[in-house]
Amino acid sequence: KYLLGQSEIFARLKAGKKRLEGTEEEEKKEGEYKSKHSPSRKKKGGRKTPTEPDAPEGEGVEDDDDGEGGQESHVFLTKQPSCIKFGTLKPYQLEGLNWMIHLAEKGLNGILADEMGLGKTLQSISILAYHYEFMKVQGPHLVCVPKSTLSNWMNELNRWCPSLRAIRFHGHKEEREALADEYFTNEAAAHDGRRPTKQILNEKTGEMEDDNSDNPRAWDVCVTTYEVANTEKKVLSRFAWKYLVIDEAHRLKNETSMFSTTVRSFNTAYRLLLTGTPLQNNLHELWALLNFLLPDIFSSSEQFDEWFNLEIDGK
């Protein structure tokens, strides 16, 4: 309440902002999906509505009201996406997933700041899985990580969500050029990321699978390092990325660094920062992260300092 009283622009954090990156057709399809798969709204004064009886197994979608008077409705998952295969999300991880879903519905970016060992990697994979399964969005997504965690990210993506096809964009100059020629063609870059709805029967497993034969892009998630992102900025700028996920995001604490400048130039629908240390002893570093996420709100570091200057005169 104190911050809302300091500046009217903070009200946008409560109300959200209209998504600008989606086309009218995409928004219409998302609206049709929610209308079809979300149960009817709860009665005034209630908390939640039960999961729709005929919802696909593992879907667990609830329609949860938000705001006064029950005027706003948003998706709330009671079960993890079925394309998460390796294990089960812990309750706090599922809560984190719902928080990220709610941010995306409002067109906001966010910082996932769980402590080390609590599964930030898995939670960020789960939001990509949610968009794949429920929104029918197949990417493209970009994940920028330290070199030391590159292999772990590839392993975790393949283990937890094999439905998302991940590629490792790294190596010497010749290797990167070969990968760019193979995966980053102009035709693939123009693909809108919408997942095909046509399915075919897998004769080996007996299960229905998506038919991606008409999809010119052979991957969904590109995992790379800070250094390669800087070096291959021109190549990566060909894409309109759905999600930009940055691991160890306190690397962005200096807004004038080369990496910060590089990722700010990318065309992204959503930005998600992962860090266990979002705030240490420097308020300006926190502003740098928030400015990267919501530059129109946190535009001035001086004004940000004034908002949080709680020192009392004479003491």
Closest CA relative to residue 20, chosen from 270, 304, 276, 205: 270
Q: Under 8 Å CB-to-CB from 134, ≥6 apart: which residues? A: 33, 37, 59, 61, 75, 81
Q: What's the rounded Cα separation, in Å, for the pair 223 and 3?
A: 37
Q: What's the rounded Cα separation, in Å, for the pair 252 and 287?
A: 10
How far lies 222's CA from each of 129, 145, 193, 293, in Å? 14, 11, 13, 20
| Per-residue confidence (pLDDT) for residue 122, from 0 to 100 | 93
Q: What is the residue whose two structure tokens read 């309440």?
A: 1
Specify the higher pLDDT residue, 137 or 214.
137
Candidate from 10-14, 23-27, 38-42, 150-154 with smallest mean pLDDT = 38-42
pLDDT band at 296; cut points 50, 70, 90: confident
| Per-residue confidence (pLDDT) for residue 203, from 0 to 100 | 57
At residue 265's C-alpha, the angle toward residues 230 and 176, to 5°, is: 35
Closest CA relative to residue 132, chosen from 19, 215, 51: 215
Candidate from 82-86, 204-208, 290-294 with smallest mean pLDDT = 204-208
Report the predicted TM-score, pTM, of the whole model to 2 decimal places. Answer: 0.72
Strand arrangement of the beta sheet that strand 166-168 belongs to? 110-112, 267-274, 240-246, 141-145, 221-225, 166-168
Q: What's the rounded Cα separation, in Å, for the pair 233 and 283?
A: 29
Tokens of 94: 């599922």
Tokens of 286: 């926190």
Tokens of 307: 């908002």
Amino acid at 138: Q
Specify the higher pLDDT residue, 202 or 218.
218
Closest CA relative to residue 255, chosen from 287, 233, 279, 227: 287
**Secondary structure of the chain: what % helix, strand, coil (to 5)?**
40, 15, 45
Q: What's the rounded Cα separation, in Å, for the pair 198 and 241?
A: 24
Candidate from 84-93, 142-151, 156-165, 303-312 with smallest mean pLDDT = 303-312
Closest CA relative to residue 223, chosen from 291, 136, 128, 135: 128
Check if the beta carbon of residue 59 is closer than 8 Å to that of residue 79.
yes
**Can you give 125-154 as a three-state secondary structure string?**
HHHHHHHHHCCCECCCEEEEECHHHHHHHH
**Can you give 177-246 as a three-state secondary structure string?**
HHHHHHHCCHHHHCCCCECCCCEEECCCCCCEEECCCCCCCCCCEEEEEHHHHHHCHHHHCCCEEEEEEE
| Per-residue confidence (pLDDT) for residue 186, from 0 to 100 | 60
Tokens of 132: 């794949």
